[in-house]
């Protein structure tokens, strides 16, 4: 069966100016229980790659530079 991709609005927002993933920080990526945060190879910064968020907040709470913001997913808002 062929497949298509579908756009989706994701709840975790990373402020790339504050993110220090390029200095080796992987805190948000490490703590995510669903492993949805990855380094964006284009920018070297963290981003949400999979829309599988539990809005549980360790990524935001543990980020050393306050770069991560967890919104409530649109379907739940």
Partner 1 sequence: MKRYDDPELQDIADKLTDPDPGIRRVAVLALVDSGEPEAAELLIQALKDDDAAVRQEAAKVVDEFDAEDIADSLLAALSDGDEVVRNAAAHALADLKDPNVAPPLLAALERSDDPFVVAGILRALKPLRVVAAQTPALQRLSDEDARVRREAVGVLGWLKAEENLPALIDRAKCDADPEVRRAAAGSLVYAARERVGPPLVTILGDPHWQVRCEAAIGIGKLDYQAGLESLIVASRDATWQVREKAAEAMGKLRVVAAVPALGECARDPMSNLRKAAIGALGAIAEPECRPFIELALDDPDPDVRKLARWAQSQLDNAA
Partner 2 sequence: MNVSNIPVIDTDVLVIGGGTAGPMAAVTAKEQDPSLKVMLLEKANVKRSGAISMGMDGLNNAIVPGHSTPEQYVKEITIANDGIVHQPALMAYAQRSFPMIEKLDSWGVHFQKDETGDYDMKKVHHLGTYVLPMPEGHNVKKILYRRLRRNRVQIENRYQATRLLKDADGRIAGMVGVNTRTAEPIIIRAKAVIMATGAAGRIGLPTSGYLFGTYENPANNGDGHAMAYHVGADLANLECFQINPLLKDYNGPACAYVTGPLGGFTANSQGERFIECDYWSGQMMLEFFKELEGGNGPVFLKLDHLAEETIQEIETVLHTNERPSRGRFHDGRETNYRQNMVEMHISEVGFCSGHSASGVWVDETGATTVPGLFGAGDMASVAHAYMLGAFVYGQICGESAAAFAKERDLPALDEAFIAAELERIQAPLKVADGIPPSQMEYKVRRLVNDYLQPPKVTKKMEIGLQRILAVRDDLHLLQATDPHELLRALEVHSIIDCAEMAARASLYRTESRWGLYHYRVDCPEQNDADWFCHTRLYKDENGNMAHGKRPVAPYIVELGEEKDAYQKLRVQKAANA
Q: Is 1 helix (H, G, I), strand (E, B) or coil?
A: coil
64 binds, among partner 1, partner 2, none (CB under 5 to 8 A by kind): partner 1
Element (H, E) at 13: strand 12-14
Give CA–CA dist 76/41, Å, rounded. 30
Q: Does 66 bind partner 2 (CB under 8 A)?
A: no
Question: Two tokens at 41?
Answer: 């190879």
Query: Which range, of 7-15, 23-31, 42-50, 66-74, touches partner 1 by CB under 8 A?
Result: 23-31
16 binds, among partner 1, partner 2, none (CB under 5 to 8 A by kind): none
């Amino acid at each position: 069966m062929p497949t298509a991709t579908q756009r989706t609005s994701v709840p975790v927002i990373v402020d790339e100016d504050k993110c220090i993933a390029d200095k080796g920080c992987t805190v948000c990526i490490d703590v995510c229980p669903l492993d949805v945060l990855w380094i964006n190879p284009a920018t070297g910064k963290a981003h949400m790659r999979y829309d599988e968020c539990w809005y549980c907040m360790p990524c935001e709470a543990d980020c050393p530079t306050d770069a991560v913001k967890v919104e409530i997913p649109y379907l739940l808002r």
